[in-house]
Chains A and B, each alone.
Chain A
Amino acid sequence: MKIADSSTSAVSLVESSLKRIEETKDYNIFTYVDKNRALKKAKEIDEKIKRGETVGRLAGVPFALKANFLSKGRPADASAKILTEFISPIDSTTTEKLEAEGAICVGCVNLDAFAHGSSTENSYYGPTSNAFDKTRVAGGSSGGSAVAVALGCVEFATGSDTGGSIRQPAAFNGVFGIKPTYGTISRYGVVAMASSLDVIGFFTKAAEDLDILMSITAGQDPKDQTTLPDFYGKNDTPLNKKKIGFIKEFMESSALNPEIKASLESKLNEAKENGYEIVELSMPTLEYALAAYYIIQPAEVASNLSRYDGVRYGFRSSNVKSLDDLFANTRDEGFMRENKRRIMIGNFVLSSGFYDAYFLKAAKVRTLIIDEFNKAFESVDAILSPVSPNLAFKIGEKTSDPVLMYLEDVMSVPVNLAGIPAVAFPTGKSKDGLPLGLQLLGPRRSDKNLIKLAGKLA
């Protein structure tokens, strides 16, 4: 990451960022560009540098916020119509920490509305194109963040990962992405999707940059009582078995793209050459992870989206004769089809008579999945796995069939159900020139060592 100093000015870093944003307009990456404020902040930082004052570990580094992050004075609409016109009066803890270190927000980037999706096609602002093929999807939900970094609009971008929303777009666009241990980074001020699964993470071009960002943003936050006591760089879980595992069921999956499979095999060989023992792991319960995820996640989504009613902020339907209209029409006009699907599925699995059969059952399956990972990490340091069974697919290819789209997440959601960390990293190109990527899974609190290991394997 290039940081402003006596040789490079923050203004020049921001200007080249803004220039790049302009050049890549047709990828539909940014939903909001904060030009003047960014330049103003850059000038201030350059002044400080001239005066020899301390300017922070990210001085002058341009970055993009996934549009579901609240930041004071900027729109935070999560690419959802129902949140249009919502200008945040407050900063998310992450935004605050990054800007305190001198990082400069140049704007907000596209996502699937409320992060509901795996392609950034479910956005009120339309799809974001893949960095390597405009006819293909960026992946999602953090598609804008991944493409912004891949195309060099910014040095890094924030993301949120509920079922793969950081790792899959990272893999689709050939950048690094981290999904930290649940509770590592405060969720305060990030539009909630599914609270027990949501984590905050980042996209960068280099593994060591992830480490810098984590060391700045990780830590307990009184505004999020689910954040873990500080451990990053303090009480990290060591990875010293010199053993890396792979999941038999994934490797043998007929759905797995052969080029991704080949890349996984070659990376495992590299690891072997580097002195790692390779262990085959059988994790039969993971086959049920996606079904459990598509019960727990919609349930929490339905609950978290209950607050969007047009009363206190954001979009309000103009077709309102009664209070019922205010709620029902605002929500009908303000939510995308995919938002509605998840709200309704969520309300179904929570409704009386179905709770035990669906929500409670899924919560029990979640326990089995956690047990399976705990067992796995007794024998290996980390697990190397595909992020998604597919390469970046064509825009529109899967929009008609939600289940087909959900299957995109089949290899990423187990990580969220278990609350463990995972780092996605690029592993080359397919024959059609599309990025290939894999993810490295580790035990809870192994984030820092996992980043190091991913850096070595990349």
Chain B
Amino acid sequence: MEITDKDINHLADLSNTSLSSEEKEALKQDLGNILKYIGKLDELNTDGVEPTYQVFEMENVWRNDEIAAQDANREELLNLTKEEIENQIKVPKVL
């Protein structure tokens, strides 16, 4: 499958990643080749086959509704961010 400039820009948007024009060119090539390879699956008939998303037989795994101590507290978490104002994370204005 051919990857067009439009495709690559759309994928960059979906991936929320700004790319240089050189990188876009390179990725166009790479992604085209990769998609060509994975297109191989079309050879295989999967009619009536159930999909598998997880490889274990467990169901109904849940915890009790009780407040419990966590592995890191607010200070430890907020220390990881670049900018913080009064215990909130600062980001450029959201329009």
Contacts and interface: CB of A to CB of B under 8 A. Distances in A.
A90 B72 contact: yes
A332 B41 contact: no
A332 B16 CA distance: 9
A89 B55 contact: no
A331 B63 contact: no
Nearest to A360: B51
B75 to A, nearest CB: 9
A100 B67 CA distance: 26
Nearest to B82: A316
Contacts of B38: 291, 294-295, 349, 358, 362
Interface in B1-52: 7-8, 10-12, 14-19, 23, 26-27, 30-31, 33-35, 37-44, 46, 49-52
A125 interface: no
A91 B76 CA distance: 13
Contact of B37 (A182, A291, A321, A349): A291
A228 B63 contact: no
A335 B34 contact: no
B91 interface: yes
Contact of B15 (A323, A340, A363): A340
A302 interface: yes
A226 B56 contact: yes
Contact of A323 (B14, B18, B30, B92): B92
Interface in B48-87: 49-56, 58, 61-63, 71-72, 76-77, 79-82
Nearest to B83: A316
A198 to B, nearest CB: 11
A361 B16 CA distance: 26
Contact of A344 (B31, B49, B50, B80): B31
A367 interface: yes
A326 B58 contact: no
A340 B80 CA distance: 24
Given A89-B76, A332-B19, A365-B46, A344 B11 contact: yes
A384 interface: no
Contacts of B61: 225-226
A311 interface: yes
A325 B38 CA distance: 32
A315 B7 CA distance: 28
A327 interface: yes
Interface string A200-242: 0000000000000000000000100110100000000000000
Contact of A403 (B26, B37, B95): B37
Contacts of A309: 16
A320 B89 CA distance: 16
B17 A419 contact: no
Nearest to B93: A323
Given A367-B49, A368-B46, A341 B91 contact: no
B27 A344 contact: yes
A86 B49 contact: no
Q: Which 9 A-B pairs have the closest CB atoms?
A: A419-B55, A363-B51, A313-B80, A364-B46, A328-B18, A89-B76, A89-B72, A90-B71, A347-B14
12 contacts: A89-B71, A90-B71, A288-B41, A290-B37, A309-B16, A322-B92, A323-B93, A341-B31, A344-B11, A361-B46, A403-B34, A419-B55
Interface of B: 7-8, 10-12, 14-19, 23, 26-27, 30-31, 33-35, 37-44, 46, 49-56, 58, 61-63, 71-72, 76-77, 79-82, 89, 91-95
Given A323-B94, A406-B34, 19 more contacts: A89-B79, A182-B56, A226-B61, A291-B37, A294-B38, A295-B38, A312-B77, A322-B92, A337-B27, A341-B27, A347-B15, A358-B41, A361-B46, A362-B38, A363-B51, A363-B52, A364-B50, A368-B49, A370-B52
